[in-house]
């Protein structure tokens, strides 16, 4: 069985990915894909990770987890998602690293799910907006407390992904930038479900409804209806054009009001992020979804 594990990052999709995929249960079932409810595995896996820290899973642990998720069903692929898999937001950054426990937890999970075929999916986000979100999502007031004094400019997603590749060299990793999700949402959904690139899914435009005006959405839907058969590239160009004209600016603006942060620092963080994405694209066995 294939196991697609979406591990966040924090403050990227906020479970919208599961919501969009959930609009296609009939199609997914026909393709042998199951979407277990998060309540059937998140707490259970978290408890195993915490109790068995540093040790191997106990015999029969996998079968109990599978039974809780699937009952008697026997799909070819299951899709799991948990942005807290690596850590809660308060522990997401330590010692100048993003998710320092990632490879340990993934190694345990891969061992737990043997002989299933694990795939890892991860959305990344510009540290210039990710760090303020981590502070706002933690029970602390300063970035120093939220990151245990880590240096913002030292944080690299590529370092995290390289650690994952080293720990699990045979496990495929798929990555995308949160900033691109309105343009690539349907492709991300297909990657999660393991579907063909031409598979048509409901919910592929869900994110647009949060960032585009009602008038723009109506015109966008009308345009798609009158232009069937658009390729993925053509559709992304159409989305970009409509967002350029009908985007809700208030929804696109990010809060960057951390004490002591300057425009120069924010710009430097974003430039480093852009270079980091370029480095990720060059990591072997990593698929980067881009617009």
Q: Distance (Å, rounded) from C-alpha 90 to C-alpha 144? A: 11
Q: pLDDT at residue 290 above 80?
A: yes
pLDDT tens-digit series, residues 160-189? 999 999 999 999 999 999 999 999 999 999
In which band, very low, low, confident or very high, does the pLDDT at 141 lie, cut at 50, 70 and 90?
A: confident
Distance between first and last Cα of the chain: 30
Q: Give the whole-number percent of the chain exceeding pLDDT 90.
A: 78
**52 in helix, strand or coil?**
coil
- CA distances 228 to 177, 221, 271, Å, are 28, 11, 38
Q: pLDDT at residue 81 above 90?
A: yes
Least confident of 1-5, 125-129, 259-263: 259-263
Its CATH class, for the domain covering 2-204+262-289, is: alpha beta
Q: Distance (Å, rounded) from C-alpha 227 to C-alpha 220? A: 11
Q: Distance (Å, rounded) from C-alpha 118 to C-alpha 22? A: 21
Strands 173-177 and 286-289: parallel
pLDDT at position 259: 83
Cα-to-chain-centroid distance, residue 261: 27
Cβ–Cβ < 8 Å for 167, 118: no
Q: Distance (Å, rounded) from C-alpha 237 to C-alpha 234? A: 5
pLDDT tens-digit series, residues 239-269? 999 899 898 876 556 666 688 889 999 999 9
Cβ–Cβ < 8 Å for 121, 9: no
Contacts of 153 (CB under 8 A, 6+ apart): 265, 268, 269, 272
Cβ–Cβ < 8 Å for 122, 173: yes
Q: Is the peptide bond before 115 cis (omega within 30 degrees of 0)?
A: yes
Q: Distance (Å, rounded) from C-alpha 260 to C-alpha 138? A: 19
- For residue 191, the tally of other CB atoms under 10 A from its CB is 19
Q: Distance (Å, rounded) from C-alpha 221 to C-alpha 261? A: 40
Cβ–Cβ < 8 Å for 215, 246: yes
> Between these two residues, 25 and 258, which has the higher pLDDT value?
25
Backbone angles phi, psi at 124, to 5 degrees: -110, 165
Burial of residue 51 (number of CB atoms within 10 Å: 0-12, 13-18, 19+): exposed
Contacts of 288 (CB under 8 A, 6+ apart): 174, 175, 176, 277, 280, 281
pLDDT at position 252: 58
Sign of the dihedral through C-alpha 13, 15, 16, 22: positive
Domain boundaries of the chain, sorted by first residue: 2-204+262-289
Q: pLDDT at residue 127 above 70?
A: yes
């Amino acid at each position: 069985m294939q196991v697609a594990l979406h591990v966040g990052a924090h403050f990227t999709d906020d479970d919208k990915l599961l919501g969009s995929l959930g609009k296609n249960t009939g199609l997914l079932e026909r393709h042998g894909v199951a979407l277990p409810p998060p309540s059937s595995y998140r707490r259970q896996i978290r408890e195993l990770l915490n109790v068995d820290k540093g040790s191997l899973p106990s015999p029969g642990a996998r079968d109990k987890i599978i039974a809780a998720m699937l009952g008697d069903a026997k799909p070819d692929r299951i899709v799991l998602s948990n942005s807290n898999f690596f850590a809660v937001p308060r522990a997401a950054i330590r010692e100048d690293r993003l998710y320092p426990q990632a490879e340990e937890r993934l190694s345990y999970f891969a061992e737990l799910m043997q002989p299933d075929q694990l795939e890892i999916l991860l959305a990344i986000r510009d540290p210039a907006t990710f760090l303020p979100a981590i502070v706002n999502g933690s029970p602390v007031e300063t970035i120093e407390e939220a990151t245990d004094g880590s240096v913002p400019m030292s944080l690299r997603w590529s370092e995290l992904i390289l650690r994952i590749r080293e720990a699990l060299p045979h496990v495929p990793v798929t990555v995308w930038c949160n900033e691109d999700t309105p343009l690539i949402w349907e492709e991300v959904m297909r990657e999660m479900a393991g579907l063909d690139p031409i598979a048509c899914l409901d919910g592929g435009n869900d994110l647009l409804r949060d960032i585009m005006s009602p008038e723009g959405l109506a015109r966008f839907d009308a345009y798609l209806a009158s232009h069937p058969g658009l390729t993925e590239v053509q559709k992304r160009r159409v989305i970009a054009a409509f967002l350029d004209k009908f985007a809700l600016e208030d929804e696109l603006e990010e809060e960057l009001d951390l004490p002591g942060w300057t425009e120069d620092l924010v710009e430097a963080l974003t430039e480093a992020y852009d270079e980091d994405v370029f480095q990720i694209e060059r990591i072997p066995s990593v698929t980067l979804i881009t617009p």
